[in-house]
Amino acid sequence: QQQVKQSPQSLIVQKGGISIINCAYENTAFDYFPWYQQFPGKGPALLIAIRPDVSEKKEGRFTISFNKSAKQFSLHIMDSQPGDSATYFCAASNSGFNKFYFGSGTKLNVKP
Amino acid sequence: GAGVSQSPSNKVTEKGKDVELRCDPISGHTALYWYRQSLGQGLEFLIYFQGNSAPDKSGLPSDRFSAERTGGSVSTLTIQRTQQEDSAVYLCASSFGQGTYEQYFGPGTRLTVT
């Protein structure tokens, strides 16, 4: 059973637009939700993360929205740039941080 | 400072052979994770080390997979009797340890089983 479901699989956005990627989870024991950015040939890099005690976290152009009751969280990239073109993964972990469950990834293409 | 390094970067092996993949975590990081990323897929958790101990090995796909960590530093993932379905990118990540969240990933080892 997939613990974290991510959509869409791919996304095309015009430069300056808003990119939105969604994730849903089942396990209510999860309490840490990071987003990772991965460029081809590289390992993933942490972009932004949220704990369930807040509904939103913003860092620059990147915002996580978290809906605990719906067990959903999303990444919003404002003013998307061609340099943002990458694959994005959501993930979830419990408080022990001994196991992370990743979504299947979203390949974002920002067109100039 | 240096990031997480992995070797080899690419490995091509014949079906049935054993392979060893190495991970050098960031100095001082006590937690170490191994993941498998199949083509176009997300990351599949394999195993977690806190120091030299791996409290949960349930993510390893079969008993052909094993991992160890020595001196609280370098880790080796061993796949015995490789199968074609083992072909994937194997990623290693490290972090300061429990209570500290950010995982730093290495570039991965691309394993191809022919």
Q: What is the pLDDT of residues B23-39, one digit of tens each?
A: 999 998 999 999 999 88
Structural tokens at position B75: 């880790």
Four-CA torsion B55, B82, A40, A59, nearest 10 degrees: -10
Q: What is the pLDDT of residues A61-84, one digit of tens each?
A: 999 999 999 999 999 999 999 999
Q: What is the CATH number of the domain that holds B50?
A: 2.60.40.10
| Residue B15, min C-alpha distance to chain A (Å) | 24
Instruction: Please report, for residues A12, B103, B105, the alpha-carbon distance to residue A46 in angstroms, rounded to integers and kept in the order given.
Output: 22, 7, 9
Q: What is the CATH number of the domain that holds A47?
A: 2.60.40.10
How much is the pLDDT for A58? 96
**B91: containing domain:** 5-10+21-99
Task: Mutation target for B interface from A7, A102, A106: give the one with most B CBs within 10 A.
Answer: A102
Q: Nearest residue on chain B to A101, judged by CA atoms?
A: B45
Asked which of A4-8, A97-101, B3-7, B102-106 is least confident by mean pLDDT, the reply is A97-101
Q: Is residue B88 part of a domain?
A: yes
Q: What is the pLDDT of residues A29-41, one digit of tens each?
A: 998 999 999 999 8
| Residue A43, min C-alpha distance to chain B (Å) | 5
Residue recorded with tokens 């340890």: B97
Q: Is residue B114 part of a domain?
A: no
Question: Quick one: what percent of chain B has pLDDT higher than 70?
Answer: 96
**Closest among B71, B73, B32 to B55, alpha carbons compared:** B32
- Strand A100-102 versus strand A86-93 pairing type: antiparallel
- Contact check, Cβ <8 Å, A97/B95: yes
- Contact check, Cβ <8 Å, A99/B59: yes
B8 prior amide bond cis, ω within 30: yes
Question: How far is it, in rounded angstroms, from Cα B95 to Cα B23?
Answer: 13
How much is the pLDDT for B98? 63
Q: Nearest residue on chain B to A35, judged by CA atoms?
A: B102
Q: Is residue B68 part of a domain?
A: yes
Q: Quote the number of domains for chain A.
A: 1
How much is the pLDDT for B101? 67
Q: What is the pLDDT of residues B80-113, one digit of tens each?
A: 999 999 999 999 999 987 655 688 999 999 999 9
Q: Quote the number of domains for chain B.
A: 1
